[in-house]
Amino acid sequence: METLSLGDTPRKSSFAPICRDDARLLVLGSLPGEASLATARYYAHPQNQFWRLMGAAIGAPLADMDYEARLAALVEAKVALWDVVASATRKGSLDTAIRNVTHNALADLVAGLPNLRLIAFNGQRAASIGTRALGADCPVPTLTLPSSSPAHTQAFEAKKAAWMALRVAL
């Protein structure tokens, strides 16, 4: 899903949000990585721990399901999923390489979710970009989680403990 480039660095775009208007929790990543862009699926890299972490938080075996079933389970659990970056230039998949950011319309999405209790950022880079995009007057509490990316080397059990805090919004 590469579009125009700046020099030799491709401009990459995020996907549409996975969302229903009764969502209580919004989980925001930064920008899909190469594996996700190649398959047009959120968190497609086999070593990304997102589906295991979210599965633990909502009490469903998401990692064992096919992609469409994963999305359906998230929506049923009242979880919305999106990215903070609409498009950016980036070589590779690392968040630290994201440049020339255009934000997704996060404030508009949040305004359309009347039951939203919590916005969770999947990693520090998503939080830094997303906090700016949401603005200082965001009416919903936010939480920064350890990144589910394999590049974030914290042990799975430590990540899982942090991600279990999402249960308060469900």
How sure is the predictor about 82, in pLDDT bands with cuts at 50, 70 and 90?
Answer: very high
Counting residues of the chain whose pLDDT is more than 70, the rounded percentage is 94
Tens digits of residue pLDDT in 88-115: 998 877 777 788 899 999 999 999 999 9
pTM score, two decimals?
0.92
Closest by Cα among 116, 103, 100 to 21: 116
* Per-domain residue ranges of the chain: 2-169
Tens digits of residue pLDDT in 19-76: 999 999 999 999 998 899 999 999 999 999 999 999 999 999 999 999 999 999 999 9
Catalytic residue, candidates 48, 104, 115, 122: 48
Instruction: Specify the long-range contacts of residues 153-158, CB closer than 8 Å, at least 24 apart.
Output: 156/49, 156/52
CATH class of the region 2-169: alpha beta
Whether 104 sits among the annotated catalytic residues: the reply is no
Tell me, what amino acid is at 70? R
Q: What is the mean pLDDT of the chain?
A: 92
**CA–CA distance, 76 with 97 (Å, rounded to integer):** 34
DSSP 10-63: EEEE-PPPB--TT-SEEEEESS--HHHHHHT-TT-STT--HHHHHHHHHTS-GG
